[in-house]
Chains A and B, each alone.
Chain A
Amino acid sequence: MTTTASPRLPDLLPGDGSAGALGGARRFAMPATFLVFGLVDILLGARSHGSAILSFTPQFAKVTIPNLTIPAAGTCYLSGALTLLLAVAALVPAVAPRAVPSLGNRAWRRVAIGVVLFLFVIALLAWSDVSQSSGGSEAIPINIVNLLSGSLNQSIPIMLGAITGVICSRSGVINIAIEGQLLLGAFCAAIATSATGSLWIGLVCGALAGSLVGSLLAVFAIAYIVDQVVLGVVLNGLILGLTGYLYNSILVPYGDTLNSPATFNLWKIPGLGDIPILGPVFFDSTVFLYITYIVLAFVSFALFRTRWGLRTRAIGEHPVAADTVGIRVLALRYRNVILAGLIAGIGGAYFTIGSVGSFGINMSSGEGYIALAAMIFGRYTPWGAVLAALLFGFTTQLQSILSSINVPIQSNLLLLTPYVVTIIVVAGLVGKVRGPKAEGVPYVKA
């Protein structure tokens, strides 16, 4: 996202103490993290024997693709060796910062991080596939298509929530209420669909519910100048309590009529959906995934290529300057926060009318907070946030697939790996993310 770079003054000024104090440890963070990943890869290699089988054919597919059989140990060693090479390469700019031109640095870093994570996943898959079958029996193939499409669908609420967070943050409003927006979206979509019988009405109601939370956030944050971190947490609590209360008092006794919505069917895009491997992953899903594509494309274009986007970023960075040139700061903040709520509301609707088919207490189960983390992790850009959200979705899906094929790790330890990986990645590779300057600071006209 080259266009995001409004000048990061503290990065340029030598006087900023935080940059100086962090610099020493941070320079070696990336090589050190790569080293850890490389060693883990090799460790996995030492513990795997036999051949791992990866399958690429989705269930009930007409065309079958031959399975890929790879030597597990060799794959792990190769991944480990490549990762260690990257670690050494990452050490060069850390030791001699002037030796390499700094321009290509950023892109190089991103590619390197991507490659390291990819190699780690490959090694993990190879190891887990052979380790489930102790003895001579052949390994059960791991279905890559299911893994990828599962991760993609699992990430839908996180992706949409994170995009909502990006729009709000860029406008200068911290939105911690994403969790509440998801939950109320799920709740209202379930009731509206059950009551009217129309999935589309349910989808619209879910979106409006997210927007309702957004307008509460906007009114309290902008008009009543409530601290936005506080406000978000409180709104989440309010919605968790309210939906839980209404679930017990209304949805339980009248479950047949109010809490048994239909769910959207899979809808395969003609043509694109027939591409091998990519088709079933990206173009054979519910309408929610396609909405996510459209929202992502639209928001990332609008935020960096339109007048609206420029103004939005302006009121998030420096509202006084924006006001001086005639942008109506408060009006634009209201509009952005309320409209962004629609997106998270759709994400919430996915829970009830996209996958599960009924509402349950706290069914968003903290994914709004994960979306918040994905937003910061993705450096406040739509694409970054979506990729970070996919990382969470992928690790969750990987965890559920690994535990279903009886990998000999305790399932609770598997469940906590995505969060450990996130901390390692955030601490070791991402580091300090600078949000929009005026994020969370109410604008009061002098």
Chain B
Amino acid sequence: MSEPAGTEEPSSERSSSAGTFSQVFAKALEGNTVTVTVLAIVTAAVVGGLLAAFTNPVVLHAPAGDIIPKAWSVVAGTYVALFEGSIVNPHTVAAFFQQASLPTAVHDGFLGAVFNPLSETCVAATPLILAGLAVAVPYQAGMFNIGGQSQLIGGMILSAWLGFGVSMPIVIHVIVCVIGGFVGGAVLGWLAGEIKARTGAHEVIVTIMLNYIMAYLLAYLLSSPSLLQKPGSTDLITPEVASSAHLPQLFGNGIMRVNAGFLLALACAFGAWWLMNRTTTGFELRAVGANPSAARVAGMRVEHAWVLVMSIAGGLAGLGGTAIVLGTDFAVNPSNFGTYGIDAITVALLGRGRPAGVVWAGLLFGALTAASPGMQSQANTPVQIVQVLTSVIVLFVAAPPLIRTMFRLRATRARGVGTTMSKGWNA
């Protein structure tokens, strides 16, 4: 977490940016944040590989001498499937170059097949980045937002309703729906912030309760034909969003699903960075997070900051829901909010609460998510391995001293990430 000036020692990474190669290398050995993150990912991969290998029925039933080769093939299969499902599949590349001519290959969708895994990674990363920002931004202001799920649902409901219930001209419609999604989430964030500001009720309790309330409210809306349920349907699903409200796909109407929602997520990450680090409001928010009493003495309105930051966060999470509804699913059902609310916390933590970090963490988790069906079908590794991998990565990232001990790195002079993030929730 970046802290306002004066509360922390100067961090090491800032001074390393202008270093020569040898200085950079020395920094790497000292265990700076990049090294720690890379090592954490490697360690998690090893742990995940061991888990995948020694719970696989093929390995468990293998004769004693055959265990190691069989285990190796399972691990290799899992990670090959991970690479092919999230970055590039060599078979599609080969197929692309076997076509008679480049134009026909592009026309027949072979190029799309090559880039499809990357596209799926971005699609999966979009709500993770937006919901991750919804955790990271309030964290800098000293609030812990577990309510990503409720805010995501709020955004989904409003953007979907605007999408199918209202007809508008083509460009305006999608803009109105996106704004509606922001508002839908922001209302729920505002509610949690306002309750805390007015009564002092802990935002952790309120946001957890709101998650349940919104999940059941969504189920209620979807089961009432007079409200959101698709007319003439018994399924719990809304009518399809009008095509004028779809977020445009970035590469035409081909196989690749990556859409403007991904650009929206990147823009929001930049906006969050700009807000928190380049504006007076952001400085106040961070000051309230670092020490509310000091901020109050300095004349800042602490309660106002809480409400503001929760509203912004809610809006960001709401945009995450909007990106799902208008970008890929085009209708709301009781399951497409998934587990983004909780996954967002992990994303925010891996990104260390910084917007740029959240983008990278969202892409990493998006890649794992996009590849998980392939890992299940090709290597017989259950999809839950993704959750294990992400948790182990964050656990190691959050504990730099552990990674340093394991890999015998020297300690940096500045304090580790874990310590700068540690403060009680009564602060």
Interaction A to B:
yes
Chain A residues within 8 Å of B, Cβ to Cβ: 16-18, 21-22, 25-26, 29, 174, 220, 223-231, 233-238, 240-242, 244-250, 253, 366, 369-370, 372-373, 376-377, 410, 412-413, 415-416, 419-420, 422-423, 426-428, 430-435, 437-442
Given the complex, which residues of A lie within 8 Å of B223, measured CB to CB?
410, 412
Within the complex, which residue of B212, B343, B387 is in contact with A419, where a contact is CB–CB below 8 Å?
B212
Chain B residues within 8 Å of A, Cβ to Cβ: 51, 55-57, 144, 146, 195, 198-202, 204-206, 208-210, 212-213, 216-217, 219-220, 223-224, 292-293, 296, 302-303, 342-343, 345-346, 349, 381-382, 384-392, 394-395, 398-399, 401-402, 416, 418-419, 421-426
- Contact A227 B418, beta carbon cutoff 8 Å: yes
- Contact A433 B202, beta carbon cutoff 8 Å: yes
Residue of A nearest to B402 (CB): A224
Residue of A nearest to B391 (CB): A238
> What is the bound-complex CA distance between A174 and B208, given in angstroms?
16
Given the complex, which residues of B lie within 8 Å of A440, measured CB to CB?
422-426
Total inter-chain residue pairs, C-beta < 8 Å: 201
> What is the bound-complex CA distance between A3 and B46, given in angstroms?
50
Within the complex, which residue of B302, B391, B419 is in contact with A234, where a contact is CB–CB below 8 Å?
B391
- Contact A234 B198, beta carbon cutoff 8 Å: no
Residue of B nearest to A231 (CB): B398
- Contact B209 A419, beta carbon cutoff 8 Å: yes
Within the complex, the shortest CB–CB distance from B236 to chain A, in Å, comes to 10
- Contact B202 A17, beta carbon cutoff 8 Å: no
Given the complex, which residues of B lie within 8 Å of A237, measured CB to CB?
342-343, 346, 387, 390-391, 394
Residue of B nearest to A437 (CB): B426
- Contact B219 A233, beta carbon cutoff 8 Å: no
Secondary structure call for the A interface: helix
- Contact B422 A442, beta carbon cutoff 8 Å: yes
- Contact A376 B387, beta carbon cutoff 8 Å: no
- Contact B200 A432, beta carbon cutoff 8 Å: yes
Most buried by A among B57, B146, B303, B391: B391
Given the complex, which residues of B lie within 8 Å of A247, measured CB to CB?
384
- Contact A225 B422, beta carbon cutoff 8 Å: yes
- Contact A366 B212, beta carbon cutoff 8 Å: yes
Within the complex, which residue of B144, B198, B209, B343 is in contact with A229, where a contact is CB–CB below 8 Å?
B144
Given the complex, which residues of A lie within 8 Å of B219, measured CB to CB?
412
Within the complex, which residue of A26, A373, A438 is in contact with B209, where a contact is CB–CB below 8 Å?
A373
> What is the bound-complex CA distance between A209 and B144, given in angstroms?
28
- Contact A416 B199, beta carbon cutoff 8 Å: no
> What is the bound-complex CA distance between A413 and B425, given in angstroms?
32
- Contact A248 B422, beta carbon cutoff 8 Å: no
- With A26-B199, A234-B346, A369-B146 already in contact, 5 other A-B pairs whose C-beta atoms are closer than 8 Å: A230-B394, A233-B349, A372-B204, A432-B202, A441-B424
- Contact B385 A241, beta carbon cutoff 8 Å: yes
Most buried by B among A224, A247, A439, A441: A224
Residue of B nearest to A410 (CB): B220
Chosen A-B contacts, 7 in total, with CB atoms closer than 8 Å, are A237-B342, A237-B394, A241-B386, A241-B391, A420-B209, A423-B206, A440-B426
- Contact A227 B345, beta carbon cutoff 8 Å: no
- Contact A22 B200, beta carbon cutoff 8 Å: yes
- Contact B220 A413, beta carbon cutoff 8 Å: yes
Given the complex, which residues of B lie within 8 Å of A369, measured CB to CB?
146, 208
- Contact B426 A434, beta carbon cutoff 8 Å: yes
- Contact B382 A244, beta carbon cutoff 8 Å: yes
Within the complex, the shortest CB–CB distance from B58 to chain A, in Å, comes to 11
